[in-house]
Structure formats: structure tokens, C-alpha cells
Amino acid sequence: MIDSSDEAMILAHGGDCYEQFLGSVAPPVFMSSLFTCNSLDEYHFGAPGKHIYSRYTNPDVSVLEQKVAELENGRFCLAYANGMAAASAAILSKAKAGGHIVCVHNAYGCIHEFLEVYLQPVMQMTYTYVHGYDTQEILQALQDNTCLIILESPGSDTFTLVDLQAVTAEAKKRGIPTYIDNTYCTPLYQKPLSLGIDIVMHTATKYMGGHSDVLGGLLVTNDEETYNRLKQLRHLFGGISAPMEAWLILRGLRTMKVRLDEHQKIATEIANELEKDPRVRKVYYPGLESFPQKQLRDKQQSGSSGLMSFEINGTVEQARAVVERLKVFSLGPSWGGFESLVMMPLYFKSEEYAEWYGASRGLIRIHCGLEGVKPLLEDLRQALSVLDEGESA
Ligand SMILES: *Cc1c(COP(=O)(O)O)cnc(C)c1O
């Protein structure tokens, strides 16, 4: 495993090719749909470093892919237009008509939707949702026709962990490929390939971009056959990242370590303060000392980022009142940028769904941005004070 000083080096210089670009430190943005060739042979067979058509490869996209492959300690990387383009490409590359998929219950919501509205009705696939924190439940869900295990650790909104080594060891024995969404940790805080995962997905829209100004997705794998299949499908589905987007993600990556360490520092302080607040019933944050899967966390993660959830001592409507009173935390989807955000991921779900998910409908998810601890804490406290008013009224 590479140490963090190497990671800083990769973030700064991985994929660099100054000499190719007239010494330019930042690669130019190659806004060209095609690249002309010297011969028909070159056009047909290609040549090392030769680009032909930007739906296949593009210089900016290649620099990005090189950097992220190095960061994940992986052999191959492919960049996509957004996280879901990468996720659906990976899943389709392993999907089989009539096959079965095991998926963690707190995978990113659109993954469930993809299984339910596309793979099941169109490809006659079946799926089993499992609580990823229970390895036995995952293994018991495997069937003879299981063609993929979809993992996310920490999972969305409740941040439960999957024992990646335990699951991948058994999956390998049975020849079942494994996929993980590693967006929460980024390659800096978790390296799933080294824990046996076959395909790692990143939503570059979050910390890699880091400035809430770009969408992107990435897949990393060590398996050449998987890579070739993914590459072929990317030609056919057309999900590749555009050059300007790849350039923006590259720019974000250069500062990801300083940003991520700061997000973690701020989030850890906020989580500790929330945990002490009597108006807060429960905090969901993998970085807490009291985190239930602390041992597993320390085994497979080297950090936790800026996203967490909490529940108040109060009703769902009171939770909503707290959320709508926040000022520094803006109400909105997504996360991973410089700014603080809040939302209620389960508010519009049923009570039964929320219970199955492992939280209440009043779950409040916050992303701690880079504004600093003080304004964020003050904002949370003034919003939570709506609960004190309720009491005295
Ligand atoms: C945002 C997100 C995605 C989807 O990424 P897009 O770029 O919006 O397609 C997937 N997984 C996780 C965990 C996310 O937070």
C-alpha cells in the first residue's frame, strides 16, 4: 500500500505529461471531437498515446484516468460523464439476463431504481437487498445465478460499513464479481481493490471535483478482461467524460487531500458536539469514537469525510423545522463541495421504509463544508433552538 506522502505526490503530479503539452503545467482542454491520423493503419489499429475520437479517448480524460488509477493503486481506470453513467456501465457489464444481484440496502438511491425499473423488468433479473453490516446475510443471499454483489461502505445516509475482505473472500471462491461505490471515502481514505473488490466506482461530482461545478464518474479495476469489456461498452453507450469536465476534475484532485482532511476535521468536531447536545438523539458518523463498527472502520478505512446524519429528540415535523431554519447549511442534494448542505433523505418515504433503512423519517443529513467549525456549529445550535421554543410555548 502506498503511504500518504505518495498520495500527495500522485494528486499533484500523477498523469502529468508536460512535454506533450509544450511544458504546460495544466493540460490544455482538448475541445476536439476527433484527431486526424497519419495513415489508414494508424486510424484502424491505433498507436501508443494516439487519440482518434473523443467518444473513445481524449487527452484530458486520459490524464484524469491515469491519476485516479494511480490513486486507487489500480491498473485500469475509465472516466464517465457522471457517477450514474459509471455505475450503470459497471453493473451492465456484469449483468446477465435472468441473473440475480445482491445489493446493500443503503446503496445510493438511483442504484435501487436502476435495479427496479430497468434490470428487473427489461432483463428479467432478480435482486436481494441486504443489510451490508451483516456479512452472513450477504452470503446467505447469494444464489447460483448471482452475477454481481453491489456494495457501498460507508453506505448512504446511515453510513453502515460492510466487511469488505470477508465478503470478497467468499465471493471470489464462488466466482461472483464485487462492485463498490467508494465515493464517501475517496481513494485517500479507503482502497477497496486491496481488499479484494473487483470494480471500484467514484462519483467525481463529490470530493474529486470538490467545487460543486462539475459532474463526473470513474471506474477502476485490476482485471484486464473487465476493463476491456467496460471500454467496449463505453464506446457503445457513449458515457465518457467530456474534456472540460475531465479538466475540472483534474483541477479538483490537485487539492483533494487538503480539502478532504479539512472536511474530516470539521465534521469530526461537529459530530462530537452534536452527540453531546441533549436535543440530538443519535449521530450517524463513521468518525465518531462511539461508532458501532469502530473496529471494522479502523481495519479498512483511514478516515471519514464531511458527510453525516443525525436525529433529533423530537417529531419528524420538528426535524423539518430545524432543517428549514438552517442558514449556513443550504437545503440541496449532492455533497462533497466546499459548501455546507442539508437534506432529509427519508422524509418523503414511508415509516416502514425508514424503519427498514435503519433510521427515522426525521433523519437529517448534513455535509460539512469548508466554512469552518464555528459558523457551522452556531448555525446548527440556532436551528436546534426551535426545539427549546417548542418546549416553553
Ligand atoms: C451522488 C452520488 C452518486 C451519483 O453521482 P452522479 O454524478 O450524480 O451521477 C452515486 N453514489 C453516491 C454515493 C453519490 O453520493
Helix (H, G, I), strand (E, B) or coil at 210: coil
How far is the centre of ligand 1, averaged over its atoms, from the C-alpha of 201 (Å)? 10
Residue range 108-113: mean pLDDT, rounded: 98
> Ligand 1 pocket, 306 CB below 6 A?
no
How far is the centre of ligand 1, averaged over its atoms, from the C-alpha of 260 (Å)? 17
For atom 1 of ligand 1, which residue has the closest CA?
334
210: exposed, middle or buried (Cβ count in 10 Å: 0-12, 13-18, 19+): buried
The atom number, within ligand 1, closest to the CA of 152 reads 13
> Ligand 1 pocket, 203 CB below 6 A?
yes
Q: What local confidence, expressed as pLDDT, does residue 389 receive?
A: 80
pLDDT over 80 at 392, yes or no? no
Edge-to-edge strands of the sheet including 76-80?
Answer: 76-80, 217-221, 199-203, 178-181, 146-152, 100-104, 126-130
Task: Please write the tens of the pLDDT for every residue from 206-243.
Answer: 999 999 999 999 999 999 999 999 999 999 999 999 99
For residue 27 the three cell numbers come to: 493540460
Which of 84, 201, 215 has the most ligand 1 atoms within 8 A of CB, as the residue to mutate? 84
> Ligand 1 pocket, 108 CB below 6 A?
yes
Task: Provide φ and ψ at 120, rounded to 5°.
Answer: -70, -60
pLDDT over 50 at 104, yes or no? yes
Task: Please write the tens of the pLDDT for every residue from 240-285.
Answer: 999 999 999 999 999 999 999 999 999 999 999 999 999 999 999 9
Give the number of residues written for the chain: 393
pLDDT over 70 at 390, yes or no? no
How far is the centre of ligand 1, averaged over its atoms, from the C-alpha of 174 (Å)? 29
Q: How confident is the model at residue 3 (pLDDT cuts 50, 70, 90)?
A: low
User: In whole angstroms, what is the distance from residue 30 CA to residue 21 CA?
Assistant: 11
pLDDT over 60 at 98, yes or no? yes
For atom 4 of ligand 1, which residue has the closest CA?
83
Q: How confident is the model at residue 393 (pLDDT cuts 50, 70, 90)?
A: very low
Q: What percent of the chain has pLDDT over 90?
A: 97
> Ligand 1 pocket, 212 CB below 6 A?
no
pLDDT over 80 at 4, yes or no? no
Q: What local confidence, expressed as pLDDT, does residue 2 receive?
A: 45
Q: What local confidence, expressed as pLDDT, does residue 375 receive?
A: 98
The atom number, within ligand 1, closest to the CA of 87 reads 10
Q: Which helix (H) or strand (E) holds 14?
A: none
Q: How confident is the model at residue 5 (pLDDT cuts 50, 70, 90)?
A: low
pLDDT over 90 at 100, yes or no? yes
Task: Please write the tens of the pLDDT for every residue from 18-68.
Answer: 999 999 999 999 999 999 999 999 999 999 999 999 999 999 999 999 999
Which of 91, 105, 110 has the most ligand 1 atoms within 8 A of CB, as the residue to mutate? 110
How far is the centre of ligand 1, averaged over its atoms, from the C-alpha of 83 (Å)? 5
Which of 203, 241, 366 has the most ligand 1 atoms within 8 A of CB, as the residue to mutate? 203
How far is the centre of ligand 1, averaged over its atoms, from the C-alpha of 9 (Å)? 27
What's the mean per-residue pLDDT of the chain? 96
> Ligand 1 pocket, 215 CB below 6 A?
yes
pLDDT over 80 at 300, yes or no? yes
Find, among 194, 179, 206, 182, the residue nearest to 89 by Cα: 179
